[in-house]
Structure 1
Amino acid sequence: MIELTDVTKSYNPTVKAVDDLTLTVRGGEIFGFLGPNGAGKTTTIKMMTGIAKPDKGTIRINGRDIASSPLEAKKQFGYVPDSPDLFLRLKGLEYLNFMADMYDVPKETRKERIDGLARRFDMSGALSDPIQSYSHGMRQKIVIMGVLIHDPHVWILDEPLTGLDPKSSYTLKEMMREHADAGKTVFFSTHVLEVAEKLCDRVAIINKGVVLFCGTFKEMQERFQSDMSLEKLFLELTDDE
């Protein structure tokens, strides 16, 4: 579970990047976080992961406060950033073992998980190569694998499908569904609204730091008394603002 209560963040005296945000993401659901560029999505995610500090408010990951208990909170989640260009001089397997060391994953467990993830993402033949030799999509896959190596309860994914080939994209969506169906939490931001419409149990739409809607797609259609797609409803909602 992810709980944000009265969270606010400003980068200058006149504009709030996130304005008094309260949001609960439950276990057992895939939660989509949607908004135009500059809406406050990445700032929110950075505060959730402890990269940025809110001006006020509290953030809890599985009951652990990210401000007062950062290490315990960070053990609860895996975070895929919006750029996969990390640790480029390491080989794929070196990176995965580094991530496993970070989270104290036993050697027997990590080998099984690395082998399983490599098979699912078609990366078995590339793990001995340096990450800087990978394509953008392969870098995205190795970052996702590193994030999942400690089997975190909460997944926080910032545009995770960017650069993935269709098969890998399908695999990740399948894994997200499996994770949520096991009673765990998936929080992800995306600009691909068709994916959000099909995949998410609930969505939140944020614009100018304020959540304009939070709920199921059906609830959004009922609110607007419309059978329009999520994409059209999103455009109508954000244009009105």
Structure 2
Amino acid sequence: MIEINNVSKNFPGNNKAIDALNLTIPDGKIVGFLGPNGAGKSTTIKMMTGILPLDGGSIVLNGFDIEKNPLKAKKIFGYVPDQPDMFLRLKGIEYLNFIADIFDVSKEVRQERIEILTKQFDIYNALEDYIQTYSHGMRQKVIVTGVLIHDPDIWILDEPLTGLDPKSAYMLKEMMREHANKGNTVFFSSHGLEVVEQLCDEVAIINKGKLLFYGTLQEMREYYHSDKSLEQVFLELTNDE
């Protein structure tokens, strides 16, 4: 479970990047996090993962406060950032072993997971190459593989499907569904409204740092007395703002 309690964030020259945000993401759900560019999605995710400090409120992941118990909180989630350009001077296999070392994954378990995941993502034969030689999509795949090596309870994904080929995108969506079906939490931001509509159990819509809606698509249609698509409702909500 992810509990975001009255969270705020200010940046210089910006009144409030995040304004008193309250959001509770239950176990066993895939939740899509939507908003226009600059709405506060990545800022929220970076606070959830401990990259940015909170200016107010609290974020609790499966009972662990991200600021009061950062090490314990970070053990239980996997994070895919919106830009996969990290550790470019490492080889793919060096990066994956580095991540496995951080999370104390045994050699036997890591070898099995690395082989299975990288073959599924079709990057197994590139593991001895440096990440800086990878395409954007390959970098995304190796980052996602690193996230999955320690099998975290909570997945926090910022635009995870960007740059993936159709086969790999389908595979990741299937993994997300399977993970949630096991009683775990998947929270991801996306600009692909059709994907969110197809995949997510619930959606959270944010704009200008404020939560506009959280619930199922059916609840959204009932609340706004509309049978329109998610795309149409989303555009109406955010344009009104």
Aligned Cα root-mean-square deviation (Å): 0.9
Unaligned 5+ runs, structure 2: none
Aligned residue runs from structure 1 range 112-127, under 5 A: 112-127=112-127
Which amino acid is the alignment partner of residue 66 of structure 1? I
TM superposition score normalised by structure 1: 0.98
Q: Equivalent residue for 1:202? A: 202
Q: Equivalent residue for 1:16? A: 16
DSSP 3-state at the match of 1:232: helix
Deviation at 1:15, TM superposition (A): 1.0
Per-residue CA deviations over 1:52-107 (Å, capped at 9, x if unaligned) read 11111010111000111000000010000000111111111111001000111011
Q: Equivalent residue for 1:53? A: 53
Deviation at 1:14, TM superposition (A): 5.6
Q: Equivalent residue for 1:216? A: 216
Which amino acid is the alignment partner of residue 139 of structure 1? R
Which amino acid is the alignment partner of residue 101 of structure 1? D
Q: Equivalent residue for 1:93? A: 93
Deviation at 1:13, TM superposition (A): 6.7
Q: Write the distance in 2 (CA, Å) between the matches of 1:232 and 1:27.
A: 28
Asked whether 1:152 is paired with 2:164, we answer no
Deviation at 1:12, TM superposition (A): 3.1
CA 1:14–1:162 in 2, change beyond 3 Å: closer, same or farther?
A: closer
Q: Equivalent residue for 2:173? A: 173
Q: Write the distance in 2 (CA, Å) between the matches of 1:13 and 1:232.
A: 32
DSSP 3-state at the match of 2:67: coil
Unaligned 5+ runs, structure 1: none
Q: Equivalent residue for 1:103? A: 103
Q: Write the distance in 2 (CA, Å) between the matches of 1:211 and 1:224.
A: 15
Which amino acid is the alignment partner of residue 24 of structure 2? T
Q: Equivalent residue for 2:67? A: 67
Q: Write the distance in 2 (CA, Å) between the matches of 1:95 and 1:41.
A: 27
Say how many residue pairs are matched. Answer: 241
Aligned residue runs from structure 1 range 23-34, under 5 A: 23-34=23-34
Between 163-172 and 126-135, report the one with greater CA deviation.
126-135
Structure 1's consecutive aligned runs of 4 or more residues displaced over 2 angstroms after TM superposition are none
TM superposition score normalised by structure 2: 0.98
Which amino acid is the alignment partner of residue 12 of structure 1? P
